[in-house]
Amino acid sequence: MLDWINKHLENVIAIVLFVVMTIAVFTQILTRTFDYSLSWTEELARYCLIWLVFIGTSLAVIHQQHINIDVISKRLNESEKKVLAVIAQAIFFAFSLVILFYSTQMVMDLYRLEQHSPALGLPMWIVYLACPVGFALTAFRLLQQIVITVETTKTEMDK
């Protein structure tokens, strides 16, 4: 169970969000064609996109897909590369913690201030929650990777 969550959590959430986005926008086109408009389809799609991007940030860490520039790293040997990768992951990790801290405070502020979205009437803190949740997951995934890299290097060195 835990293993399944570990493997699929971000992926499942992200797919659900993307499917909801698709359905929302398609519904919007259909209903407008039949002279009836829903006020909330576009908003729902936009808020799903915000969640998708922040959850996806963590997913992209798992799949090591984030775009980076390897001008320097491709000139390094294997072990130097690993050190640089861990440094980069650590920087990313530290940044995630900073954003996690401040965005959590923001969500709490917004919770108190009771702003609602125009169409769905959704409390806005729910939209902003995407940021701390996304970066909490990102931080966790980075930590996993740092640990794995360090341990494999250790075992390699033991050999």
Partner 1 sequence: MSLFILFTTFVFLVLCTVPVAISLAIATLITILSAGNLSVEFLVSSMINSLDSFPIMAVPFFILAGEIMGRGGISQRLVNFSHSLVKNITGGFAIASILTCMLFAAISGSGPATVAAVGGIMIPAMIKYGYDKYFATAVVTAAGAIGVMIPPSIPMVMYGVAASTSIGDLFIAGIFPGILVTLCLIIWSYIYAKHKGYKGSDEPFSFSQVFKEFKNAQLALFIPVIILGGIYGGIFTPTEASVVAVVYGLIISLFVYKEITVKDLPAIFTKSILTSVIVLIIVASATAFGKYLSIEQIPTQVANAMLAFSESKIVFITLMVALLLLVGCFMETIAAIIILTPLLVPVSTVFGFHPVHTGVIMVVSLAIGFITPPLGLNLFVGASVAGISVDKLSKAIIPFFISMIVALFLIIYLPFLSLSMI
Partner 2 sequence: NNKQSQTSDSASCESSPKTLRFSMSSNNKHPIFSGASKFKELVEQSTDITVNIFPSAQLGDDRASIEMLQLGTLDIAIPSTGPLANFSSAFNVFDLPFMFQSEAVADDVLRSNFAGTMLNILKDKQLIGLDFWENGFRHLTNSTRAVNTIDDVSGLKIRTMESALHLDAWQALGATPTPMAFKELFTALQQGTVDGQENPYPNIALNNLYEVQEYLTDTGHVYTPLVLLFSAKTWSTLSVSEQVALREAAKEAGDYQRKVNREMNKQSLAQLNDHMTITTLPLAERKKFQQATLPVLEKYKDVIGENIVTQFQQAIKTAEMNDL
Give contact residues for partner 2 (rule: CB under 8 A): 32, 35-37, 39, 42-43, 106, 109-110, 113-119, 121, 124
CB of 107 to partner 2, least distance (A): 11
114 Ramachandran zone, left/alpha/beta (phi>0; psi -120 to 50): left
CB of 2 to partner 1, least distance (A): 21
CB-facing half-sphere around the CA of 17: CA atoms within 13 A: 19
Given the complex with partner 1, which of 118 and 158 has the nearer CB atom? 118
Given the complex with partner 2, which of 16 and 106 has the nearer CB atom? 106
Q: Give kind and range of the element (H or E) at residue 100.
A: helix 78-113
* N-term to C-term CA, the chain: 34
The CA dihedral of 85, 88, 127, 102, to the nearest 10 degrees, is 150
The 40-69 contact track toward partner 1, x by CB under 8 A, reads --x--xxx-xx-xx--xx-xx--x-xxxxx
Asked whether position 119 contacts partner 1 by CB under 8 A, the answer is no
